[in-house]
Structures are given as structure tokens and as C-alpha cells.
Amino acid sequence: MTTSAHEGSTTLDLSRKGAWVAHAALVRSGREATEAGETQPVERRLLEKIEDDEPFDAAELSALRDALVSYLGDAPVRDRAPGRDVLRTVTAAIGRASGV
């Protein structure tokens, strides 16, 4: 994981499997947000950032972490180990972004 040239932004260095799990978590979270009435859930923007390898700000990292935590609660077995790796990566990035 590297710090981006954009102040306060972080680019996540995810494995292919990790990116897939993050994608699955965001799709599920976005679907739930849409069903709850949100017209433009943040998950859509986060999916684009993962696909384009763009930097995340602290709020986006927090939203990704929340989606991962929710997803990993009942994720398929194949997604659990790479999902935990992504969750650790995102949590560490949040810590760096907040100076912890």
C-alpha cells in the first residue's frame, strides 16, 4: 500500500482475490443501500476506485471497511482468508490516514 500524491489519500495494493472479495462486499452493501432507498450509494464510487486502482480518502476507507465487516460475517469459505487480508490492509490504511 502506498500513499498517493493526493493529500490524505491512500492507494490500496490488493491481490486479485482480495480485490474480488472487496468487490463482492461492496456489491452486497450497495444493493442493501439501494433497497433501503439510497439513490447513489457510495459503494458505486468505491467499486470504480478498486477497478481503476485510484486512491481512497479516509471516509471511503471506512465505508469499505464497514462493507467488508458485514460481508465477512457470512462470506463463502473461499472469500474468508483473502477478505481478512483486505480488512487488515484497509484498517491499517485508516490508521495511517488518521495518524494512529
pLDDT in tens, the chain (100 residues): 333 434 568 889 999 999 999 999 999 999 999 999 999 899 999 999 999 999 999 999 999 999 999 999 999 999 999 999 999 999 999 988 776 5
From 59, 44, 42, 56, select the one nearest 14 (Cα to Cα): 56
- For residue 78, what pLDDT is reported? 97
Helices (H) and strands (E) in the chain, counts: 4, 2
- For residue 96, what pLDDT is reported? 82
Radius of gyration of the chain (CA): 13
- For residue 11, what pLDDT is reported? 87
Helix-helix angle 42-52:58-72, to 10 degrees:
100
From 43, 40, 14, 12, select the one nearest 27 (Cα to Cα): 43
Q: Give the Cα separation of 30 and 34 in Å (integer).
A: 6
48-61 burial by CB neighbour count: b if 16+ within 10 A, else e?
Answer: ebbeeebbbbeebb
- For residue 99, what pLDDT is reported? 66
